[in-house]
């Protein structure tokens, strides 16, 4: 938003506002685990040097995804848009250290009956985390920015952890288990649905490579991590914890799992 306002002032009033627009605003402190969105994932890709910001086609799509209003206002003017490209690159240089490197991925899970022998609230069979190491944390269709066309940037983002995860329930003493059951009863949560927040730290993103598919007559251009044209992006990640909440608003933490 701050970049957008500064650019709008600069582009609409270039002579009277050059000094004001040139001074970057201070960036907010980085959130511990960011909400997943297409713009935030674009910024994470930049931080890990996952694509070439000097490539005009890619910086165009980055700007469309992260600064849609600027695209709508200035893309049709070649010269103004060149200024937008330059300003976006400058903003990246200034703010790259604040771009997110950690995300939370939320999922609903279901508790089964309390197991008195193992002192555990077991998960229902469909909720058992059994040998899981891949999380599809985000997918998108369309552009969300008018008639803009996103041809090259990934649309599916997959976080992969090195060590698979296996959790079949929440180890809780009988008193804690009974307290949680009473809480769910008072909330009319008869299905025993809880919210799991997977806290993931990105450690590496293999850069996208520019390839041309010569198997078709018009030789389609692609940017992918592999030799196969695809719109997926793999993010190597570390699972730092899983927070389990009794409520979907995530105000009542009932258990924290740490590998």
pLDDT tens readout for residues 180-192: 999 999 999 999 9
Percent pLDDT > 90 in the chain is: 71
Which of 32-36, 203-207, 214-218 comes out lowest in average pLDDT? 214-218
Contact 184, 113 (CB under 8 A): no
What does 112-138 look like in DSSP terms, one character per residue?
EEEETTTTEEEEPGGG-EEEEEEEEEE
- pLDDT tier for residue 230 given thresholds of 50, 70 and 90: low
Average pLDDT (131-152) is 87
Mean pLDDT is highest, among 14-18, 134-138, 143-147, for 134-138
Q: b/e map of 102-128 (b: 16 or more CB within 10 Å)?
A: bbbbeeebebbebeeeeebbbbeeebb
Strand (E) positions, 116-252?
120-123, 129-139, 156-167, 169-171, 193-204, 209-213, 220-224, 232-245
Query: In 3D, which of 195, 221, 172 has the Cα closest to residue 57?
Result: 221
State whether the Cα torsion 115-119-125-130 is positive or negative. negative
pLDDT tens readout for residues 167-184: 999 999 999 999 999 999
Check residue 231 and give its pLDDT: 78
22, 32, 101, 124 from 249: Cα distances, Å: 40, 18, 23, 21
Check residue 154 and give its pLDDT: 92
pTM above 0.95, yes or no: no
- Per domain, the residue ranges of the chain are 2-22+30-98, 104-257
């Amino acid at each position: 938003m701050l970049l957008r306002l500064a650019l709008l002032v600069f582009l609409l009033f270039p002579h009277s506002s050059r000094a004001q627009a040139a001074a970057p605003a201070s960036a907010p402190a980085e959130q511990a685990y960011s909400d997943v969105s297409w713009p935030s994932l674009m910024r994470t890709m930049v931080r890990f040097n996952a694509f070439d910001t000097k490539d005009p086609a890619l910086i165009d799509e980055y700007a469309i995804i992260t600064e849609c209003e600027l695209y709508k206002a200035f893309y049709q003017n070649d010269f103004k848009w060149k200024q937008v490209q330059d300003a976006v690159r400058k903003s990246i240089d200034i703010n790259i250290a604040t771009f997110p490197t950690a995300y939370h991925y939320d999922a609903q899970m279901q508790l089964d009956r309390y197991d008195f022998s193992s002192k555990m609230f077991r998960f229902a069979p469909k909720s058992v985390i059994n040998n899981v190491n891949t999380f599809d944390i985000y997918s998108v269709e369309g552009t969300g920015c008018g008639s803009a066309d996103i041809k090259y940037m990934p649309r599916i983002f997959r976080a992969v952890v090195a060590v698979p995860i296996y959790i079949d329930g929440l180890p809780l003493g009988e008193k804690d288990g009974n307290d949680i059951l009473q809480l769910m009863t008072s909330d009319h949560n008869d299905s025993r649905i809880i919210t799991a927040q997977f806290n993931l730290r990105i450690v590496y993103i293999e850069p996208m490579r520019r390839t041309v598919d010569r198997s078709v007559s018009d030789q389609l251009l692609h940017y992918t991590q592999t030799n196969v044209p695809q719109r997926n992006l793999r993010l190597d990640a570390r699972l730092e914890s899983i927070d389990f909440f009794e409520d979907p608003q995530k105000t009542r933490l009932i258990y924290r799992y740490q590998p």
